[in-house]
Amino acid sequence: MSIIEVNGLQKEFLIAKRETGFMGALRSLVKREFIKKEAVKDISFTIEKGEMVGYIGPNGAGKSTTIKMLTGILVPSAGNVLVNGIIPYENRQENAKNIGVVFGQRTQLWWDLPTIESFELLKAIYRVPDQRYKENMDIFKEILGLDEFLNTPVRQLSLGQRMRADIGASLLHDPPILFLDEPTIGLDVVAKEKMRTFIQEINRERNVTVILTTHDMEDIEKLCKRMVLIDHGQKVYDGEILAVKERFGKMRTLVVDLEEAQKPLYVSGGEICKQEGNRRWIRFNRDEISASELITQISQTHNITDLTVEEPDIESIISRIYQEGFTEPQFV
Amino acid sequence: MGQLSMYWIFTRKAFLRSSVYRFEVWSRTGSNLIFLLMWGSIWTALYAGREEAGGVTFTAMLTYIVASQFLDGVNEAGTPLWEIQEKVRTGDISLELMRPFDVPLRYLFADFGSVAFYMITALLPLYILIFLFLNLALPTDWITWVYFILAAFLGFLIRYCIEMTFGLLTFFLVETGGIEDIFYFAMSLLSGSVIPLWFFPAWLETIAVYLPFQSIFFLPLSIFIGEIKGAEILTSFGIQIFWLVVCFLVLRFVWNKASHKVVVQGG
Amino acid sequence: MAVAKYIGLYFKLVSAGIRAQLQYRFAFVMRIVGMVTAYTGTAVTMWVMLYQFQTLGDWNFYEMLFLFALSILSWGFCIILFFHFRSLDTYILNGTFDRFLVRPINPFFHFMAMKFDVASFGQFLFSIIAFVWVSLELQIDWSIGKILFLLAVIVGGVLIQGGLLVIISAFAFWTTKSEQFYWVAMYPARNLTYYPLVIYPKFIQWVTAFVIPFGFVNYFPTTVILEKETPFFPDYIGYFSPVVGVIFFVISYLIWMLGLRRYKSTGS
């Protein structure tokens, strides 16, 4: 049996329509119209114990709605969910014991108190035995480096420290499943890297199943083998990340500002996909040609005043997958 | 003229925006009605069947309190004190310093918009009904109505200056608890909004007469029920204009200090 | 035993809440000062009102002050336990409410234990001074029976007002609004009860007795303690305060749980 089973999941909401103009303003005082929105249309997938899966999609794709149904916060309109053998929304408190949840933008710690007190309160809430608590705290101190700020009030922690504390707090009761919602949002490069190492370590050493939602393509690339991609409430892709990277992630765009813009520019190994005034956008495959090779090539004929290399972000990859479809069937 | 039309945009924007908060319109009306019921009942019980007390008839007193609740509704539709405080704390007001307009004036014109919306959709229909159904002593000549509207408008401006000033004090204080309570107390008792000044003990009446708050409720309401009439009306306007100038200057002073503080210390 | 577990947990959570609040000592003191100022302001208004008229519906200033202070006293306890319920809408809107739903304990209990607002010290200060003053002026004879009755009335008053706060917060599950309902409905309604209910139209008196039982918070009990008459109601009605409180609170709790079910099907 898989640790998470999602079958034909659906969720609909009613959303109020906004009126415009003077008369609309007066009219909306009495009457308001509603539109039905299908946040999740029909999603199915299974996750095995110990897997680390990226659950991604653009804003409003239905990511957090799905997560809420998996954590028992929301009841689905249709379909089935089974988390560690429990139907979350029917048995929320039982399910809560099996899951750890971290919302990147909202801490679950007690804001005004020293960090250690949040751990003690969560110990009481989850009824973690003393012995287990001590063991876990020792492990967290080691791998999350909690020691340096355990006595600092949460509100004074840096974002990176707070995220580490939040992850520790969510694992205190040894949940077999961990939901991470944007765990690296707002962190600087170094802190992001650290955070990813922690997550990997936790996944490896405690065999925790991790479901990760994020906007950061690097999180996914570094952490997950598999990703589930959704858009407009539907699953667009479910499978190896490598396959997606192969296909879309290797394309880069070089943006150059040229001094003599009227002089025609020819590049081999890349394709000029856009031009605007002095600026040219050149799309290239990084497996075929490196950015520095391209730059050398251009500088032989033109003076470059400015340049940047754009990497495809998850949004653009998703929109490309959505437009073009994923032709090779990769569904698991 | 171009200046003025720019400020009118804030008025129009606020008018349209008010409709989004339709719940607020209903809720404010409901709460206004409960307080009308409360003060109406209190004054009915105080008069206890007497025709008049202290030289004022019961009908005139009831008219006073109903009109007072109406004015209260008008004044409360503007940006409330806590919202100004909130804007100071979050730095919204500091941000507006970078814009090419005068901030206190911009809020005043925005208030015109929300007040207009609230008046059209709730206050006027409601109070016209109340005036029709209750047996009240309304002014019989049109000029009294004009005087009342003018005095009420001056009162609105004075209230605006005072409330804005209190709100801007947030710039200088770490904690404002206590400040707003003093403001609300002065607004309700010393303005004569719930008890007319002539029922005050003499010493308190003297204090109230020398403070700006009576201009907001007591003076316009007294004009409305004919307690202030003839040449007294001129004096009353004189007092209001005097306080408007004073309160305006204080507001400008506090505002200059506050914006200076923002520019120098970054809020 | 589940109850024992919850009681222990309650004290742990509450003491955390208090320590968090005491981090902001200055704000804490200023709030107490502000509260005392505000209530004194209302008392002064009452005094000015009765300066010329002597009585309001057969109630003199001291009797009214007693009525007012009783309301403030039970409100003080209510602030400690339930006042944060009114801002449930904020918790829902910024997503922090979900935190209470991913934990293995009763969410109502968890939300209730989250805050323990000890700044209601201002309410206690004001009402106790008022009680002492009025007791001296009116020469109230505080027998053991009367004191026990007063305590029971305070419990009843806390449950009634707390229950209404719980219902108001439950509105957030349906309408995503609650704080406003407090300012629109409960705040003015509480103001009504600062004055003897006898002055209001019969319909209002009936509502405050049987629909939103605010009459049992201070008016009915005060008529018992001060031996005043209650036109339209039997004299002994004040004795029912504690019972009414328990019943009303249970109903409120059920409404809240119903709202939570609705929240789980809509998410907002």
What is the rounded distance in angstroms from the CA atom of residue B75 to the CA atom of residue A299? 69
User: In whole angstroms, how large is the CA radius of gyration of chain A?
Assistant: 24
CA distances from B228 to A241, B65, B198 (A): 83, 16, 12
Q: Is C267 a residue whose pLDDT tops 80?
A: no
Write out residues 55-114 of C within 8 Å (CB-CB) of A: 94-96, 98-99, 101-106, 110
Q: A169 with A194, same domain? A: yes
Least CA distance to C189: which residue of chain B? Answer: B34
Which position has the higher pLDDT, C157 or B19?
Answer: C157
pLDDT band at A330 (very low <50, low <70, confident <90, very high): very low
Q: How far is CA A156 from the centre of its chain?
A: 26
| Residues in chain A closer than 8 A to B117 (CB atoms) | 25
Mutation for A interface: B19, B24, B25, B117, most A CBs within 10 A: B19
pLDDT band at B267 (very low <50, low <70, confident <90, very high): very low
Q: A242 with A255, same domain? A: no
Residue A122: name the closest of A142, A136, A141 by CA.
Answer: A136
Domain count, chain C: 1
- Least confident piece of the model among A270-279, C235-244, C249-258: A270-279
The mean per-residue pLDDT over the stretch A259-263 comes to 80
What is the rounded distance in angstroms from the CA atom of residue A68 to the CA atom of residue C92? 13
The mean per-residue pLDDT over the stretch B201-222 comes to 96
The beta-carbon neighbor of B199 closest among C27, C52, C189 is C52
Q: Fill in the amino acid letter for B33.
A: L
User: What's the confidence (pLDDT) of residue B27?
Assistant: 85
Q: A280 with A164, same domain? A: no
Q: How far is CA C257 from the centre of its chain?
A: 21
The mean per-residue pLDDT over the stretch B42-48 comes to 94
Say which DSSP state C240 is in. G
pLDDT band at A331 (very low <50, low <70, confident <90, very high): very low
| B228 torsion bin: left (phi>0), alpha (psi -120 to 50), beta (else) | beta
Q: Is B190 a residue whose pLDDT tops 80?
A: yes
Q: Is A317 a residue whose pLDDT tops 80?
A: no
pLDDT band at C109 (very low <50, low <70, confident <90, very high): very high
User: What's the confidence (pLDDT) of residue A315?
Assistant: 59
DSSP A269-325: SEEEEEEETTEEEEEEETTT--HHHHHHHHHHHS-EEEEEEEPPPHHHHHHHHHHH-
Looking at A196, A226, A246, which one is the last position of a domain?
A: A246
What is the rounded distance in angstroms from the CA atom of residue C100 to the CA atom of residue C85? 13
Q: Output the six-digit token pair for C250.
A: 């249970």
Question: Under an 8 A CB cutoff, do A22 and B16 touch?
Answer: yes
CA trace torsion C64, C66, C67, C73 (10° rounding): 140
| Interface contact C257, partner A, CB < 8 A | no
The beta-carbon neighbor of B178 closest among C34, C175, C192 is C34
pLDDT band at B19 (very low <50, low <70, confident <90, very high): confident
pLDDT band at A299 (very low <50, low <70, confident <90, very high): confident
* DSSP helix/strand/coil, A180: strand
What is the rounded distance in angstroms from the CA atom of residue C9 to the CA atom of residue A124? 6
User: What's the confidence (pLDDT) of residue A332?
Assistant: 35
Q: Is B242 a residue whose pLDDT tops 80?
A: yes
* Domain span at A317: 250-324
Domain edges within chain B: 2-265
- Least confident piece of the model among B112-116, C83-87, C97-101, C117-121: C117-121
Domain at A29, CATH number: 3.40.50.300
Measured in degrees and rounded to the nearest 5, phi and psi for residue B143 equal -65, -35
Write out residues 210-229 of B within 8 Å (CB-CB) of C: none
Report chain C's mean pLDDT, rounded to a whole number. Answer: 91
Long-range own/partner contacts, residues C137-146 (CB < 8 A, 24 or more apart): C137/C62, C138/C62, C138/C63, C138/C66, C138/C226, C140/C225, C140/C226, C146/C225
Chain segment A138-176, per-residue pLDDT in tens: 988 888 889 899 999 998 999 889 999 999 999 999 999
Pairing of strands A209-213, A52-56: parallel
| Residues in chain C closer than 8 A to B194 (CB atoms) | 45
* DSSP helix/strand/coil, A29: coil
Exposed e or buried b for every residue in B246-264, given b needs 16+ CB within 10 A? ebbeebeebbeebbeebee
Residue C134 CB contacts under 8 Å (≥ 6 apart), including other chains: C62, C63, C65, C66, C69, C140
Residue B126, exposed/middle/buried by CB under 10 A (0-12, 13-18, 19+)?
middle
The interaxial angle of helices C61-82 and C121-138, nearest 10 deg, is 160
Which position has the higher pLDDT, A27 or A35?
Answer: A35
Q: Is B52 a residue whose pLDDT tops 60?
A: yes
Which position has the higher pLDDT, A126 or A242?
Answer: A126
Report chain B's mean pLDDT, rounded to a whole number. Answer: 89
Q: Is B12 a residue whose pLDDT tops 90?
A: no
Residue B82: name the closest of B12, B183, B174 by CA.
Answer: B183
Q: Is B116 a residue whose pLDDT tops 90?
A: yes
The mean per-residue pLDDT over the stretch C81-88 comes to 93
User: What's the confidence (pLDDT) of residue B266?
Assistant: 54
Q: Is A33 a residue whose pLDDT tops 80?
A: no
Which position has the higher pLDDT, C107 or A36?
Answer: C107
Whether residue B11 contacts residue B112, with contact meaning beta carbons closer than 8 Å, is answered with yes
Do the domain assignments include residue A108?
A: yes
pLDDT band at A20 (very low <50, low <70, confident <90, very high): low
CA trace torsion A191, A197, A198, A200 (10° rounding): 150
Report chain A's mean pLDDT, rounded to a whole number. Answer: 84
* Domain span at C233: 2-266
User: What's the confidence (pLDDT) of residue B85?
Assistant: 84
Q: Is B134 a residue whose pLDDT tops 80?
A: yes
Do the domain assignments include residue A332?
A: no
Residue C132 CB contacts under 8 Å (≥ 6 apart), including other chains: none
Q: Is B265 a residue whose pLDDT tops 60?
A: no
Chain segment C133-145, per-residue pLDDT in tens: 999 999 998 999 9
The beta-carbon neighbor of A96 closest among C95, C103, C268 is C103
Question: Under an 8 A CB cutoff, do C41 and B188 touch?
Answer: yes
Looking at A246, A267, A296, which one is the last position of a domain?
A: A246
* DSSP helix/strand/coil, B187: helix
User: What's the confidence (pLDDT) of residue A150?
Assistant: 92
Chain segment C172-215, per-residue pLDDT in tens: 998 888 888 898 889 999 999 999 999 999 999 999 888 999 99
Q: A14 with A55, same domain? A: yes
Q: How far is C87 from chain A (nearest CA, A)?
A: 17
pLDDT band at B84 (very low <50, low <70, confident <90, very high): confident
Q: How far is C204 from chain A (nearest CA, A)?
A: 27
User: What's the confidence (pLDDT) of residue C268?
Assistant: 54
The beta-carbon neighbor of A110 closest among C16, C106, C110 is C16
Exposed e or buried b for every residue in C188-201, given b needs 16+ CB within 10 A? bbbebbbbbbbbbe
Do the domain assignments include residue A331?
A: no
Domain count, chain A: 2
Chain segment A301-311, per-residue pLDDT in tens: 888 888 888 87
Q: A73 with A198, same domain? A: yes
User: What's the confidence (pLDDT) of residue B2?
Assistant: 64
Question: Under an 8 A CB cutoff, do C96 and A106 touch?
Answer: yes
Mutation for C interface: A12, A34, A70, A92, most C CBs within 10 A: A92
DSSP C83-95: GGGGGHHHHHHTT
User: What's the confidence (pLDDT) of residue A232?
Assistant: 86
Q: How far is CA A309 from the centre of its chain?
A: 23
Q: How far is C9 from chain A (nearest CA, A)?
A: 6
Q: How far is A69 from chain C (nearest CA, A)?
A: 9
Least CA distance to A18: which residue of chain B? Answer: B20
Q: Is C249 a residue whose pLDDT tops 70?
A: yes
Q: A61 with A105, same domain? A: yes
Whether residue C31 contacts residue C122, with contact meaning beta carbons closer than 8 Å, is answered with yes
pLDDT band at A277 (very low <50, low <70, confident <90, very high): confident
User: What's the confidence (pLDDT) of residue C195?
Assistant: 96
Q: Residue A13 pairs with which residues in a beta bridge?
A: A37
| Residues in chain C closer than 8 A to B35 (CB atoms) | 188, 191
Residue B228: name the closest of B159, B139, B135, B142 by CA.
Answer: B139
Length of chain A: 332
Residue C200: name the closest of B63, B69, B42 by CA.
Answer: B42
Do the domain assignments include residue A126?
A: yes
Chain segment A204-230, per-residue pLDDT in tens: 988 999 999 987 778 888 899 898 988
Mutation for C interface: A121, A123, A126, most C CBs within 10 A: A121
Chain segment A50-106, per-residue pLDDT in tens: 999 999 887 778 888 899 899 988 899 999 999 999 999 889 889 999 999 998 778
Mutation for B interface: C35, C120, C192, C205, most B CBs within 10 A: C192
| Interface contact A129, partner C, CB < 8 A | no
Q: Which of A36-45, B30-39, B82-91, B95-104 has the highest mean pLDDT?
A: B30-39
Measured in degrees and rounded to the nearest 5, phi and psi for residue A38 equal -95, 100
| Percent share of chain B, pLDDT over 90 | 57
For A212, the enclosing helix (H) or strand (E) is strand A209-213
